[in-house]
Amino acid sequence: QSVLTQPPSVSGAPGQRVTISCTGSSSNIGAGYVVHWYQQLPGTAPKLLIYGNSNRPSGVPDRFSGSKSGTSASLAITGLQAEDEADYYCLSYDSSLSGFWVFGGGTKLTVL
Amino acid sequence: QVQLVQSGSELKKPGASVKVSCKASGYTFSNYAMNWVRQAPGQGLEWMGWINTNTGNPTYAQDFTGRFVFSLDTSVSTAYLQISSLKAEDTAVYYCATRYCSGGGCYLDSWGQGTLVTVSS
């Protein structure tokens, strides 16, 4: 049970928009710590998708965007494509665990 | 560019030890802290901790104290994860990842390809 809660699964048809939430608390996201997002394609290592709540590394399409408000963060994917089917994880810092990073439980995105 | 190459898959018996390596290239090894992340079969990512590549000082997440040891060989730009007294529940893919800090905070930037450790009798 992660301290950052994500929906286990989301789905959408090609071309649609989906969002993935990452809900925390006052010891992590709500304390002002930034949120990062990772995409993990089947059988591969995670890849940085969004850093610092809403910044995209070079090479990441602008179809991916991140936001944060209060104790939650969200990842939005527009113009859904088949190759977006993957697991997505949020990552933040949690001050209640002696100052450690924590991942969300992960969300499986299915492109219908 | 930054590249992290991990050692190959391991099959170990319960009670044995394993040492996973992560060889870095394409950057100055001491510039970025090295982190370790575990992923059990079909499960999510767990941050295990990190090691300061300047001082060699390790920091372990709560669930990874005791049997897990992070170490370095800076002469060959390599980080190591050693797990002792292996249990079946240690079966997982273990990733190394560099920590990069910018205006957007600190985050895990470059990742190794992962090392599968299987513990079975």
A62 touches A21 (CB < 8 A) = no
**A72-100 tens-digit pLDDT:** 999 999 999 999 999 999 999 999 866 68
Alpha-carbon distance A23 to nearest alpha carbon in chain B (angstroms): 16
CA B83/CA B44 separation, integer angstroms: 20
**A27-75 tens-digit pLDDT:** 999 999 999 999 999 999 999 999 999 999 999 999 999 999 999 999 9
β-partners of residue B93 are B39, B116
Q: What was the pLDDT predicted at A98?
A: 63
Q: What was the pLDDT predicted at A2?
A: 86
Alpha-carbon distance A109 to nearest alpha carbon in chain B (angstroms): 14
Alpha-carbon distance B66 to nearest alpha carbon in chain A (angstroms): 16
Q: What was the pLDDT predicted at B104?
A: 79
> Which of B5, B32, B45, B65 is best to mutate for the A interface (most A CBs within 10 A)?
B45
A1 touches A102 (CB < 8 A) = no
A37 shares contact with chain B (CB less than 8 Å): no
A45 shares contact with chain B (CB less than 8 Å): yes
Q: What was the pLDDT predicted at B97?
A: 98
Judged by phi (left if over 0) then psi (alpha if -120 to 50, else beta), residue A8 lies in alpha
